[in-house]
Amino acid sequence: MPPIKRLKTMKTSLFIIDAFTDQAFHGNPAAVCLVDPDTDDAWMQHVAAEMNLSETAFLYPLDADLWSLRWFTPTTEVDLCGHATLAAAHALRHELALANGPMNFRTRSGILTATSVGTAISLDFPGFIAEPVELSAAFDAAIDAQTTAALRAGAHLILVLRDAQTVVSLNPDLDLIRRLTARGVAVTAAAAADSRWDFVSRFFAPAVGIPEDPVTGSAHCSLGPYWGKVLGKAQLTAYQASARGGEVGMELLGDRVRLLGQAKTVVRGELCA
């Protein structure tokens, strides 16, 4: 194995931050690392595997108000991650005091902007339109439920189920999901009529090392436009019904989606490796 380049000049600050929640041990935990610009990709992947969270975010400054941001699962780098971007913005603003105004991130999905809105953070993300797709009956077997619609949007499949309780009670076959698709699979349904949410979802991506993601910001870049059209709404609130649970606000703005969420720091430290 080739040697892994270590950081040379910058203390490697590390935070673990629960995103899309205002309570510790809820929402989706992301690790956030402040690194040197020449940090080796292999080192970042090793750190992400060590953290063993859905995503670990790596940040370094490019300009006064521009940061490089990359996201790694335990097994691979990904193109877009909402909860780790929210965690990174929270770290810059509330832990490192390195940003006062809007925070701009250069990423594999272009420039993304995070802005404080009261106690929450708004993320300006690309929106993805869901298009109907034909899937084999094996997908119904994989999620152990009958879909009413199947769509593809961005990097995700969306499987629409008959009601919110079906989504909450799913016990999917994760090995079969992994063999059926390398993409993430979002299952979703309209929320109950008396709910304060518009829709609920869960998200599975075992092919990239994430059996079930607690709260998936990037999936709401497609779920938001889908449910916005179905419900005739431009502002929505959703609940991701994982064991940890989390809430995502959305505002639909043409081909962009603003995601709104809170975050809570649970670990502050630094890496020694």
Distance CA 151, CA 161 (A): 12
Pairing of β 120-126 and β 131-132: unpaired
Active-site hit among 50, 55, 77, 134: 55
In the structure, how many helices (H) and strands (E) does the chain have?
6, 18
* Phi then psi dihedrals of residue 271, to 5 deg: -80, 145
Active site residue 55: yes
- For residue 231 the two structure tokens come to 């419900």
CA geometry: angle at 176 spanning 172 and 180, to 5°? Answer: 120
> What's 34-87 look like in SS3?
ECCCCCCHHHHHHHHHHHCCCCEEEEEEEECCEEEEEEECCCCEECCCHHHHHH
Residue 263 one-letter amino acid = A
Kindly provide the b/e burial profile for residues 21-30, where b requires at least 16 CB atoms within 10 angstroms of the residue's own CB. Answer: beeeebbbbb
Distance CA 90, CA 262 (A): 9
For the annotated catalytic residues, the residue numbers are 55
